[in-house]
Amino acid sequence: MISSGAWTLFRANALCLMRRLRPVARTSPVLALLALLAPAALIVGLAWAGWRGAATMAASSDDASTAVVLTVGVVFAIVGFNVQHVSSADRSLDAQIRAAPLSRLGLFLSTVGIPFTICCLVVSILSLAFFMPLIYAVWAPPYTLIHLVLFEGAIFYAAGAVGEVLKRVTRRQPAALLALPPLVLAWVASGLATGGGAWPGVARPLGHAVLNTTIESALRLTCGLLLLLLAGVSVWISVAAFLDFPEQQTFSHVGRKLRVPGSRFGVVSSVALKRIGRNRSVQRHTLFVAFVAGTLSCLTCALLPGVAQIALGSILLLAALSVAVVPLATYGANRDSSWFWRSAPVSFATYVLGMVGAGFCAGILVVVVPTATATLPFLWAGRGPPEPGVVVVVGVTLLVATGAGFLVPCSLENASEQVLSYAALGASLAGVFAAGAWIAPRLTVLGIPELLIVAGLTLIVAGLVVAAAFLREHERRKA
């Protein structure tokens, strides 16, 4: 009964979402075609990148194999944490549906659980596209891919459980902390069972199996990964099944008394920026991402000092992708106030440019805190600041996220919309960086300075984002 009701409600939400996206496909068939081709292009691009890097990774050491698996775990943990922590099981529903006789578990599975699982499957497929050439290059056993998927799913659900626990703790439900010790015990037990130790746990034998450096027991590795997966899924479901949905005040008083600029562009940007910045979910999510980035930086400085500079860039990129939900949701969070801006003495171009500026500025503001917490441990250890190229990539990521938020709008409480928005962001980033990797060497051969090339490509991306915003808002008003 629970699964039937959950699936029915999820199907209804999915149909409503598809109906909102249908006018965009009718009015912009080219955009719809690109959206369909983008996932296939992303898979092909990952497979090509994996094939090019297979020889380098195959010749790496045992510590490097463990680092590769831990990096995959960190990526899946951050994605799962973001999707679970920002989404809400009850606020994205109509009041009439919330009043229906649905169980807490059924409501959670229909609004968060099923989209969460679909997101896990999509990210796992992308991961397999990257690792399959490596598995083939090192002649690893085919069942290694199954072990890798089990590890990714276990980390994804465990991170989702941690995100749900932290969200409930900040909403005055400290009993949710009781769900964390089983996750730690499952990690330690799986590591001891597979011979990897308490740290880095099952990641060490799995890394050996992926790079085929050491013959590992397939049965022991399967049992350890299944134990970790079952623990993550059980805790993830138990938190939602046994605890009521917490209530919270949506907006805080931070920035309420800040004065609005006199220009019309400044009014649109500041109002949208204040609304997304005062949201408690955004504030809590930014602090948690900053905490995770700082923790990863401290562990890297202590355990892997040889790859500190590369690790800093990776942590900053992961932090940027984690907080990219803010520029993604800036336009969607202000959809309910569109009637106000239509009646206000603000032109169409001013409104669109103001919303683009608000989304990009919101992304810059929220990425500053994780950047500071990630950089300070490296500076304390005597390492240098992040390279300028990493800063440019982070800025371009936030700019593309702003444009993807216009193409596929999402809210801060709807997990299904967030999954689609992140898919659009991933496809857009793949297209932007692939085009940049193809154009930049050809312009360098012509003698054009690198700084000028980067500035020109960034301006082109900004122009495409503004064009996408104008197109989306024009279609919405015409509909």
Residues 305-319 have pLDDT tens digits of 766 677 788 888 888
Task: Tell me what pLDDT residue 34 has.
Answer: 65
Section 349-376 average pLDDT: 90
The pLDDT of 94-107, averaged and rounded, is 66
pLDDT of 1 > 50? The answer is no
Where is average pLDDT lowest: 97-101, 150-154, 465-469? Answer: 97-101
Share of the chain above pLDDT 70, in %: 83
> Which pLDDT value is given to residue 246?
58
Mean pLDDT of 77-89: 71
User: How does pLDDT run across 23-77, given as a tens digit for each residue?
Assistant: 666 666 666 666 677 677 777 777 777 777 666 666 665 566 777 787 788 778 8
Enumerate long-range contacts of 100-108, CB under 8 Å, 24 or more apart. 102/5, 102/9, 103/2, 103/5, 104/240, 104/241, 104/243, 104/244, 104/245, 105/2, 105/6, 105/237, 105/240, 105/241, 106/2, 106/5, 106/6, 106/9, 107/6, 107/9, 107/245, 108/240, 108/241
Task: Check pLDDT > 90 for residue 8.
Answer: no
Name the pLDDT band for 11 (thresholds 50, 70, 90): confident
Q: What are phi and psi of 423, to 5 degrees?
A: -65, -40
Quote the pLDDT of residue 364: 93
pLDDT digits (tens, 9 = 90+) for 102-128: 677 777 887 778 888 888 888 888 888
What does the pLDDT average to over 190-215? 80
pLDDT in tens, 396-451: 999 999 988 888 888 777 766 777 787 778 778 877 887 888 888 888 888 888 88
Q: List the structure tokens of 39.
A: 């996932």
Q: What pLDDT, in 10s, does the model give residues 329-356?
A: 888 877 777 767 777 788 888 888 989 9
CA atoms within 13 A on the CB side of 99: 3
Which carries the bigger pLDDT value, residue 366 or residue 82? 366
- pLDDT reported for residue 32: 66
For the residues 88-100, what does the mean pLDDT come to? Answer: 56
Residue 231: pLDDT band (50, 70, 90) is: very high
Rounded average pLDDT over 81-97: 61
Q: Contact, 172 vs 246, CB < 8 A?
A: yes
How far is it, in rounded angstroms, from Cα 452 to Cα 460? 12
Residue 463, pLDDT above cutoff 60: yes
Q: What angle do CA 387, 429, 308 make, to 5 degrees?
A: 30
| Residue 261, pLDDT score | 62
Residue 396: predicted pLDDT: 92
Q: 262 pLDDT exceeds 90?
A: no
Residue 279 bridge partners (DSSP):
251
Nearest CA to 125 out of 211, 221, 44, 234 is that of: 44
Radius of gyration of the chain (CA): 23
Q: What's the CA gap between 282 and 326, in Å, rounded?
A: 7
pTM above 0.85, yes or no: no
